[in-house]
Amino acid sequence: MAHFTVIGLGRFGISASLELIHLGHTVTGVDTDPKIVEKYVEELTQAVICDATDESVLSELDLANSEAVLVAIGKDMQSSLLCTLALKNLGVKGIWVKASTKAHHTIVSKLGVSRIIHPEEEMGVRVAQALNYPMVNNYLSIGHGFYVVEIHIKSALHDKPISQVIGNIRSNVRAVLVNREQEVFTHIHDDFVLHVNDTLLLCGTRTELKSIAPRLV
Protein backbone atom coordinates (compact mmCIF):
# COMPACT_ATOMS: atom_id res chain seq x y z
CA MET A 1 0.00 0.00 0.00
CA ALA A 2 1.27 3.46 -0.93
CA HIS A 3 0.12 7.02 -0.40
CA PHE A 4 -0.68 9.38 -3.27
CA THR A 5 -1.66 13.03 -3.55
CA VAL A 6 -4.08 14.12 -6.26
CA ILE A 7 -4.34 17.85 -6.96
CA GLY A 8 -7.53 18.82 -8.74
CA LEU A 9 -10.70 16.86 -7.99
CA GLY A 10 -12.55 17.18 -11.27
CA ARG A 11 -13.88 14.09 -13.04
CA PHE A 12 -10.41 12.84 -13.95
CA GLY A 13 -8.82 13.58 -10.59
CA ILE A 14 -11.57 12.06 -8.48
CA SER A 15 -11.78 8.98 -10.72
CA ALA A 16 -8.05 8.39 -10.28
CA SER A 17 -8.33 8.99 -6.53
CA LEU A 18 -11.20 6.57 -5.98
CA GLU A 19 -9.56 3.89 -8.11
CA LEU A 20 -6.32 4.19 -6.12
CA ILE A 21 -8.31 3.75 -2.91
CA HIS A 22 -10.12 0.76 -4.46
CA LEU A 23 -6.68 -0.73 -5.17
CA GLY A 24 -5.80 -0.46 -1.48
CA HIS A 25 -3.83 2.79 -1.40
CA THR A 26 -4.41 5.99 0.56
CA VAL A 27 -5.04 9.32 -1.15
CA THR A 28 -4.92 12.96 -0.18
CA GLY A 29 -7.20 14.92 -2.49
CA VAL A 30 -6.56 18.64 -2.97
CA ASP A 31 -8.82 21.26 -4.53
CA THR A 32 -9.51 24.99 -4.26
CA ASP A 33 -13.29 24.51 -4.24
CA PRO A 34 -14.66 23.89 -0.71
CA LYS A 35 -17.85 22.32 -2.11
CA ILE A 36 -15.89 19.71 -4.08
CA VAL A 37 -13.66 18.89 -1.11
CA GLU A 38 -16.69 18.58 1.17
CA LYS A 39 -18.39 16.31 -1.36
CA TYR A 40 -15.57 13.75 -1.28
CA VAL A 41 -14.31 14.14 2.28
CA GLU A 42 -15.86 10.81 3.32
CA GLU A 43 -14.51 8.90 0.32
CA LEU A 44 -10.89 10.06 0.34
CA THR A 45 -8.31 9.29 2.98
CA GLN A 46 -7.80 13.03 3.41
CA ALA A 47 -9.38 15.98 1.59
CA VAL A 48 -7.71 19.39 1.71
CA ILE A 49 -8.82 22.83 0.54
CA CYS A 50 -5.84 24.82 -0.69
CA ASP A 51 -4.38 26.86 -3.51
CA ALA A 52 -1.97 24.38 -5.09
CA THR A 53 -0.20 27.15 -7.02
CA ASP A 54 1.15 28.53 -3.71
CA GLU A 55 4.42 26.81 -2.88
CA SER A 56 4.25 27.77 0.80
CA VAL A 57 0.82 26.15 1.12
CA LEU A 58 1.93 22.99 -0.69
CA SER A 59 4.91 22.70 1.63
CA GLU A 60 2.50 22.06 4.51
CA LEU A 61 1.01 18.96 2.87
CA ASP A 62 3.89 16.59 3.75
CA LEU A 63 4.27 15.57 0.10
CA ALA A 64 7.45 13.63 0.87
CA ASN A 65 5.24 10.78 2.10
CA SER A 66 3.51 10.48 -1.30
CA GLU A 67 4.63 7.82 -3.74
CA ALA A 68 3.65 10.28 -6.47
CA VAL A 69 1.70 13.49 -6.90
CA LEU A 70 -0.85 13.68 -9.71
CA VAL A 71 -1.53 17.20 -10.99
CA ALA A 72 -5.04 16.73 -12.37
CA ILE A 73 -5.94 20.40 -12.72
CA GLY A 74 -8.29 20.74 -15.68
CA LYS A 75 -8.25 23.40 -18.37
CA ASP A 76 -6.45 26.09 -16.36
CA MET A 77 -3.00 25.58 -17.86
CA GLN A 78 -1.45 28.43 -15.86
CA SER A 79 -2.53 26.92 -12.54
CA SER A 80 -1.31 23.50 -13.63
CA LEU A 81 2.10 24.87 -14.60
CA LEU A 82 2.46 26.94 -11.41
CA CYS A 83 1.53 23.91 -9.33
CA THR A 84 4.04 21.72 -11.20
CA LEU A 85 6.79 24.32 -10.73
CA ALA A 86 6.00 24.54 -7.02
CA LEU A 87 6.21 20.76 -6.70
CA LYS A 88 9.57 20.74 -8.49
CA ASN A 89 10.86 23.48 -6.20
CA LEU A 90 9.78 21.43 -3.18
CA GLY A 91 11.81 18.48 -4.44
CA VAL A 92 8.89 16.16 -5.20
CA LYS A 93 10.28 13.30 -7.31
CA GLY A 94 7.24 11.54 -8.70
CA ILE A 95 5.11 14.13 -10.52
CA TRP A 96 2.43 13.08 -13.00
CA VAL A 97 0.69 15.86 -14.90
CA LYS A 98 -2.55 15.90 -16.88
CA ALA A 99 -2.00 17.94 -20.05
CA SER A 100 -5.02 19.35 -21.86
CA THR A 101 -3.32 20.77 -24.98
CA LYS A 102 -0.17 20.28 -27.06
CA ALA A 103 1.18 23.58 -25.75
CA HIS A 104 0.60 22.38 -22.20
CA HIS A 105 2.43 19.14 -22.99
CA THR A 106 5.36 21.00 -24.57
CA ILE A 107 5.87 23.27 -21.58
CA VAL A 108 5.44 20.52 -18.98
CA SER A 109 7.90 18.31 -20.84
CA LYS A 110 10.59 20.92 -20.20
CA LEU A 111 10.04 20.66 -16.46
CA GLY A 112 11.24 17.08 -16.16
CA VAL A 113 8.13 15.48 -14.69
CA SER A 114 7.73 11.71 -14.38
CA ARG A 115 4.85 11.38 -16.82
CA ILE A 116 2.47 13.51 -18.87
CA ILE A 117 -1.06 12.18 -19.30
CA HIS A 118 -3.55 12.92 -22.09
CA PRO A 119 -6.69 11.19 -20.78
CA GLU A 120 -8.97 12.21 -23.65
CA GLU A 121 -6.49 11.10 -26.32
CA GLU A 122 -5.58 7.89 -24.52
CA MET A 123 -9.25 6.99 -24.03
CA GLY A 124 -9.95 7.86 -27.65
CA VAL A 125 -7.27 5.42 -28.79
CA ARG A 126 -8.68 2.71 -26.53
CA VAL A 127 -12.20 3.25 -27.82
CA ALA A 128 -10.96 3.10 -31.43
CA GLN A 129 -9.11 -0.13 -30.70
CA ALA A 130 -12.22 -1.59 -29.06
CA LEU A 131 -14.34 -0.65 -32.07
CA ASN A 132 -11.77 -2.08 -34.48
CA TYR A 133 -11.17 -5.27 -32.48
CA PRO A 134 -14.35 -5.96 -30.47
CA MET A 135 -12.96 -9.30 -29.31
CA VAL A 136 -10.15 -7.52 -27.42
CA ASN A 137 -11.17 -6.43 -23.92
CA ASN A 138 -8.02 -4.44 -23.21
CA TYR A 139 -4.55 -3.83 -24.55
CA LEU A 140 -1.24 -2.47 -23.29
CA SER A 141 1.71 -1.08 -25.22
CA ILE A 142 4.97 -2.41 -23.77
CA GLY A 143 7.26 -0.50 -26.11
CA HIS A 144 9.29 -1.28 -29.24
CA GLY A 145 6.09 -1.91 -31.19
CA PHE A 146 4.87 -4.75 -28.96
CA TYR A 147 1.47 -5.00 -27.31
CA VAL A 148 -0.24 -7.25 -24.80
CA VAL A 149 -3.93 -7.83 -25.52
CA GLU A 150 -6.61 -9.37 -23.31
CA ILE A 151 -9.07 -11.65 -25.06
CA HIS A 152 -12.23 -13.19 -23.65
CA ILE A 153 -12.66 -16.66 -25.15
CA LYS A 154 -16.10 -17.21 -26.64
CA SER A 155 -17.92 -20.44 -27.47
CA ALA A 156 -16.49 -20.61 -31.01
CA LEU A 157 -13.01 -21.23 -29.55
CA HIS A 158 -14.08 -23.66 -26.84
CA ASP A 159 -11.93 -26.82 -26.84
CA LYS A 160 -9.58 -25.35 -29.46
CA PRO A 161 -5.79 -25.61 -28.94
CA ILE A 162 -3.87 -22.36 -28.68
CA SER A 163 -1.97 -23.28 -31.86
CA GLN A 164 -5.24 -23.02 -33.81
CA VAL A 165 -5.78 -19.50 -32.51
CA ILE A 166 -2.27 -18.24 -33.17
CA GLY A 167 -1.73 -20.22 -36.37
CA ASN A 168 1.50 -20.19 -38.36
CA ILE A 169 2.88 -17.04 -36.69
CA ARG A 170 2.96 -18.52 -33.20
CA SER A 171 6.75 -18.04 -33.09
CA ASN A 172 6.13 -14.28 -33.04
CA VAL A 173 2.88 -14.08 -31.07
CA ARG A 174 3.18 -15.47 -27.57
CA ALA A 175 0.48 -16.61 -25.19
CA VAL A 176 1.43 -14.98 -21.88
CA LEU A 177 -1.18 -16.53 -19.61
CA VAL A 178 -4.68 -17.93 -19.36
CA ASN A 179 -6.99 -17.11 -16.47
CA ARG A 180 -9.67 -19.78 -15.93
CA GLU A 181 -12.00 -19.15 -12.99
CA GLN A 182 -9.70 -19.53 -9.95
CA GLU A 183 -6.69 -20.86 -11.92
CA VAL A 184 -3.92 -19.01 -13.76
CA PHE A 185 -1.82 -20.87 -16.34
CA THR A 186 1.51 -19.29 -17.31
CA HIS A 187 3.19 -22.11 -19.22
CA ILE A 188 1.12 -22.16 -22.38
CA HIS A 189 2.14 -24.81 -24.93
CA ASP A 190 0.83 -25.12 -28.50
CA ASP A 191 -1.54 -27.91 -27.48
CA PHE A 192 -3.03 -26.00 -24.54
CA VAL A 193 -6.82 -26.27 -24.93
CA LEU A 194 -8.92 -23.14 -24.42
CA HIS A 195 -12.27 -23.14 -22.64
CA VAL A 196 -15.17 -20.75 -23.09
CA ASN A 197 -14.92 -17.77 -20.67
CA ASP A 198 -11.15 -18.11 -20.39
CA THR A 199 -9.21 -14.85 -20.39
CA LEU A 200 -6.20 -15.08 -22.71
CA LEU A 201 -3.28 -12.65 -22.80
CA LEU A 202 -1.33 -12.52 -26.06
CA CYS A 203 1.86 -10.58 -26.77
CA GLY A 204 3.07 -9.53 -30.22
CA THR A 205 3.37 -6.68 -32.67
CA ARG A 206 0.26 -4.83 -33.79
CA THR A 207 0.53 -6.27 -37.31
CA GLU A 208 0.84 -9.84 -36.06
CA LEU A 209 -1.98 -9.48 -33.56
CA LYS A 210 -4.19 -7.92 -36.23
CA SER A 211 -3.53 -10.84 -38.57
CA ILE A 212 -4.98 -13.33 -36.08
CA ALA A 213 -7.94 -11.14 -35.08
CA PRO A 214 -10.38 -12.91 -37.48
CA ARG A 215 -9.76 -16.19 -35.63
CA LEU A 216 -10.80 -14.63 -32.33
CA VAL A 217 -14.37 -13.69 -33.29
pLDDT band at 115 (very low <50, low <70, confident <90, very high): very high
The yes-or-no verdict on residue 160 having pLDDT over 60 is: yes
Q: Which pLDDT belongs to residue 134?
A: 62
Lowest mean pLDDT among 44-53, 66-75, 133-142, 197-206: 133-142
- Start-end of CATH 3.30.70.1450 domains in the chain: 128-216
* Mean pLDDT estimate for the chain: 88
- Is 29:14 a contact under the CB 8 Å cutoff? yes
CA separation (Å) from 40 to 2, 3, 119, 135, 197?
20, 17, 22, 36, 37
Q: What is the pLDDT of residues 183-194, one digit of tens each?
A: 999 988 888 999
| Structure-model confidence comparison of residues 163 and 81, the more confident one | 81
Bridge partner residues of 26 (DSSP):
3
Interatomic CA distance for residues 204 and 210, integer angstroms = 10
- Biggest CA–CA distance in the chain, Å, is 63
Check residues 181 and 138 and name the one with the higher pLDDT.
Answer: 181
Which pLDDT score, from 0 to 100, does residue 32 have?
Answer: 94
Q: Are 98 and 119 in contact (CB under 8 A)?
A: yes
Residues of the chain with CATH 3.40.50.720: 3-118
**What percent of the chain has pLDDT above 90?**
56
17 within 8 A of 29, measured Cβ to Cβ:
yes
pLDDT band at 171 (very low <50, low <70, confident <90, very high): low
pLDDT above 70 coverage of the chain, percent = 91
Higher pLDDT, 178 or 74: 178
pLDDT of residue 132: 62
Looking at the domain 3-118, which fold is it?
Rossmann fold (3.40.50)
Model pTM above 0.75:
no
d(CA 193, CA 182): 17
First to last CA, the chain: 39
Alpha-carbon distance of 67 to 172, in angstroms, equals 37
Q: What is the pLDDT of residue 130?
A: 64
Dist. CA 48–CA 181, nearest whole Å: 41
Of these ranges, 52-61, 112-121, 158-167, 206-215, the one predicted with the greatest mean pLDDT is 52-61
For 128-216, give the CATH class.
alpha beta
CB-based burial, 102-140: b 16+ in 10 Å, e otherwise: eebeebbeeeebeebbbeeeeeeeeeebeeebebbeebe
For strands 46-49 and 26-31, give the pairing: parallel
